[in-house]
Amino acid sequence: MALDKSFEFVTSEKIVFGNGSIAQVKESAQEFGQKVLLVCGSGSVPMEKLINFLDEGNLAYEIFRVEGEPNISTIEDGLLRAKSSGSTFVIGYGGGSVLDTAKAISAMMTNPGEVMEYLEVIGGGKKIVNSPAPMIAIPTTAGTGTEVTRNAVIASEVHHVKVSMRSPLMIPKLAIVDPELTITMPPSVTASTGMDALTQVFEGYVSNKANPMTDALAKEGILRGSRALLNAYQNGNDMRSRYDMSLTSLFGGIVLGNSGLGAVHGFAGPIGGMFNAPHGAICASLLPAVMKFNALEISRRADMALVQKKFVEIAQWITGKPDASLDEGIAWIENLAKQLNIPGLKAIGIKKEDFGSIIEKASVSSSMRKNPVKLETDTLLQILEEAY
């Protein structure tokens, strides 16, 4: 990165972090109106505390439940529910898919036209011009950091791909990050979301759009997340680990919103659209191979010494060894994925004949363009082969 590099930095207007911070919703929600569309999951996450705080604040609410990851029809259904109920703002309460749904609904509540018009790659990529309805994001997982990002990832069942609706205006007005809410995550979800959080701070640190502010947050996220994830998986009630993973996720969201990601997420979008597998598990399967081939390509470039140094730094931070090599870092990631019981790409239903279609879709993704070095088709194929 050039010493004189310019950058911009945006995030939520307000972030409230800490154990028990969900109590903030009682007063904060009153600033946005009296009727809220409450977007939540299928019911596995307890809602009693949130509902009690809304009742105490004399706030009316319409509950809209989201099954699985959001697609275009989900957003359209939520938009109809918001309008018919007279809701003036949105609360998203759940994992990344729930929060992405809430963000897209809040954007469409104030902007004309169809959802497809605003989607990247497969749609019109139309610009969000009107400020979305106010939104409060309350994550109950520690993975995507979508509570502070400017995009919502939406699946198209017709195109078999996941794409983004994106605008700085879509960043939630308020993010309430309460690590206590993540205790209910079962080990498998802790593993997949946690690997997504780690991947985001890894990729954000070496992105070609990284800057000094994102570097500082990414480093802190890498240090915390690499120490906390396995313990959170093995002992879900350990609040220190849950706290650190919530911070890693939050930092990852801020980082990706300002520096972008890389080839892991470039692949994960189309794979997630084509196959039914947790986003974090896909990322975990790809991460070691992407790091390896990125480092190989960068080592051939005399102009990328700084990025090469960053890869080595990651290896040193995650292994805890000040003299660790990149190969040791990749081995550490592979071992962590094994301890977390993360499957390979083959286990999620991918066949080798799917590789061509995956590469074609991945090549045009926004994340692939932020990868520290351009990866040619044959290299992308080698990554899929190795992650298989």
| 146-168 per-position pLDDT tens digit | 999 999 988 887 877 778 899 99
Cα separation, 51 vs 89, whole angstroms: 16
Give the list of residues 6+ apart from residue 384 with CB closer than 8 angstroms, or none: 267, 289, 345, 355, 358, 359
> Among 156, 181, 206, where does a domain finish?
181
Q: Tell me if 373 is assigned to some domain.
A: yes
> Among 141, 156, 181, where does a domain finish?
181
Q: Is the predicted pLDDT of residue 202 greater than 50, yes or no? A: yes
Indicate whether 276 and 173 sit together in one domain.
no
pLDDT, tens digit, 9 for 90 and up, residues 236-246: 999 999 999 99
pLDDT confidence tier of residue 73, bands split at 50, 70 and 90? very high
Cα separation, 287 vs 334, whole angstroms: 8
C-alpha distances in angstroms, 134 versus 141, 153, 164, 171?
Answer: 22, 19, 20, 10
Q: Tell me if 275 is assigned to some domain.
A: yes
Cα separation, 336 vs 238, whole angstroms: 18
Q: What are phi and psi of 228, to 5 degrees?
A: -95, -30
Domain that holds residue 163: 14-181
User: What does the block give as tokens for 109?
Assistant: 């509540």
Q: Tell me if 319 is assigned to some domain.
A: yes
Which of 268, 276, 219 has its CA nearest to residue 367? 268
Q: Is the predicted pLDDT of residue 109 greater than 60, yes or no? A: yes
Indicate whether 191 and 151 sit together in one domain.
no
Indicate whether 243 and 345 sit together in one domain.
yes
Mean pLDDT, the chain, rounded, equals: 93
Q: How many CB atoms within 10 Å of residue 302? A: 6
> How many structural domains does the chain have?
2
Where are the extended beta strands (E) located within the chain?
A: 14-17, 35-40, 60-65, 89-94, 135-139, 151-156, 161-166, 174-177
* 125 touches 145 (CB < 8 A): no
Can you state the percent helix, strand and coil of the chain, rounding each to 5?
55, 10, 30
* 3 touches 162 (CB < 8 A): no
pLDDT at residue 303, as a whole number: 87
Mean pLDDT value of segment 16-31: 94
> Among 161, 181, 201, where does a domain finish?
181
The string over 107-116, giving b where at least 16 C-beta atoms fall within 10 Å of a residue's C-beta and e elsewhere, is bbbebeeebb
Q: Tell me if 258 is assigned to some domain.
A: yes
pLDDT, tens digit, 9 for 90 and up, residues 258-308: 999 999 999 998 898 888 787 888 998 999 899 999 988 998 888 898 999
User: What does the block give as tokens for 156?
Assistant: 């198209």
Cα separation, 386 vs 289, whole angstroms: 6
* 92 touches 101 (CB < 8 A): yes
Q: Is the predicted pLDDT of residue 5 greater than 80, yes or no? A: no
Indicate whether 171 and 193 sit together in one domain.
no
Q: Tell me if 5 is assigned to some domain.
A: no
Cα separation, 249 vs 221, whole angstroms: 8
The CATH number that applies at residue 115 is 3.40.50.1970
Q: Is the predicted pLDDT of residue 2 greater than 60, yes or no? A: no
Q: Tell me if 3 is assigned to some domain.
A: no
Indicate whether 63 and 171 sit together in one domain.
yes
Indicate whether 236 and 271 sit together in one domain.
yes
Mean pLDDT value of segment 17-33: 94
The CATH number that applies at residue 317 is 1.20.1090.10
Indicate whether 174 and 243 sit together in one domain.
no
Indicate whether 152 and 105 sit together in one domain.
yes
Indicate whether 164 and 202 sit together in one domain.
no
* 383 touches 267 (CB < 8 A): yes
pLDDT at residue 4, as a whole number: 66
Q: Tell me if 263 is assigned to some domain.
A: yes
pLDDT, tens digit, 9 for 90 and up, residues 330-373: 999 989 989 999 888 999 889 999 999 999 999 988 889 999 99
Indicate whether 242 and 160 sit together in one domain.
no
Indicate whether 322 and 345 sit together in one domain.
yes
Indicate whether 206 and 132 sit together in one domain.
no
Q: How many CB atoms within 10 Å of residue 319? A: 17
pLDDT at residue 1, as a whole number: 47
* 289 touches 386 (CB < 8 A): yes
Q: Tell me if 8 is assigned to some domain.
A: no
